[in-house]
Amino acid sequence: MKKKITYSDEPIRAKVIKDFLPEPEDLVMKDEKVKVTIALSKKSIEFFKTEAKRFDTNYQKMIRNLLDIYVAEYEAGKRVS
């Protein structure tokens, strides 16, 4: 059995603080995007669609993120060389 909680009538000391949280729209990533048309293999699209469904996201976003990661790694490697 759970331990019983006993409440008291002690005064509550509270103060209003300024809202410091960002607006919800400020939390949305606003990357600049360019629309392109590209033909990908059926196998690749099926893979990304399956994985996107598994993680409750958009398959196009996954492909975009993969390409962004590739570019970042490639550019980082060029700076080291």
Residue 7 to residues 4, 10, 11, 14, 58, Cα–Cα distance (Å): 10, 9, 12, 18, 48
Q: How confident is the model at residue 79 (pLDDT cuts 50, 70, 90)?
A: confident
pLDDT at 17: 79
pLDDT at 76: 86
The string of pLDDT tens digits covering residues 3-41 is 888 888 888 888 887 887 777 777 776 778 899 999 999
Return the percentage of the chain with pLDDT > 90, whole number: 44
Q: Per the structure block, which two tokens stand in for 16?
A: 């209003």
Residue by residue, DSSP assigns 16-47 as: -----SPPGGGGS-------------HHHHHH
Interatomic CA distance for residues 4 and 69, integer angstroms: 52
Question: At a CB cut-off of 8 Å and minimum separation 6, what does 55 contact?
Answer: 62
Q: Give me the residue spans of the domains in the chain.
A: 35-80
